[in-house]
Amino acid sequence: MKFQALIALSVLTLGLTNAHAEETSMATPASAHEFTFTSIDGKDMSLGDFAGKAVLVVNTASECGYTPQYDGLQTLWENRKDDGLIVLGVPSNDFGGQEPGSEEDIKSFCEVRFGVNFPMTEKAVVKGKDAHPFYQWAASTYGEAAEPRWNFHKILVGPDGTVVGAYASGVTPADKKLGADIDAAIASGR
């Protein structure tokens, strides 16, 4: 009788463990394509719409020493969008309060000062426990390198929705390594 009870308990424990494993695996998105931002114009912006393309996600700020990188990001977008690259700006006020304006202020600043016309989201939290779910997922799947430490941190998402690279703020849009990684990501989607 004790043996049968032990077997029954083992089977029950195994079943609960498998159920927990399935629940845990369902809770973690498999790809960036499962996330949605809100555009700077207030519309849903699903990263799933960019499936099959490389996406460079950049947390931006209007009053930062790295703000001139908008020029390089716009050039990168203009030169590579037809190849399959999306540049996605994610304004954030997380570092030094350097993005204090409204979405309207940010959009106007970017368009007038830098001619930006690549997709941008509304302001989002990009660090810590309150970070947008995309940023939490990127850090959990790619590691610390995907956690922004300052404005203009870059995360490169491949056409399949996996993080394929992360780059510190000082890495400019014209950086050769970044360019090579973008080339490889675009090629992997063809």
Give me the active site residues, please.
64
Question: CA-CA distance, 103 to 35, in Å (whole number)?
Answer: 20
Tokens of 178: 């970044």
CA 146 to chain centre: 9
Neighbouring residues of 16: CB distance < 8 A, sequence distance ≥ 6: none
- Would you say 151 and 142 are in contact if contact means Cβ atoms under 8 Å apart? no
Question: CA-CA distance, 168 to 87, in Å (whole number)?
Answer: 16
Alpha carbon distance, N-terminus to C-terminus of the chain: 62
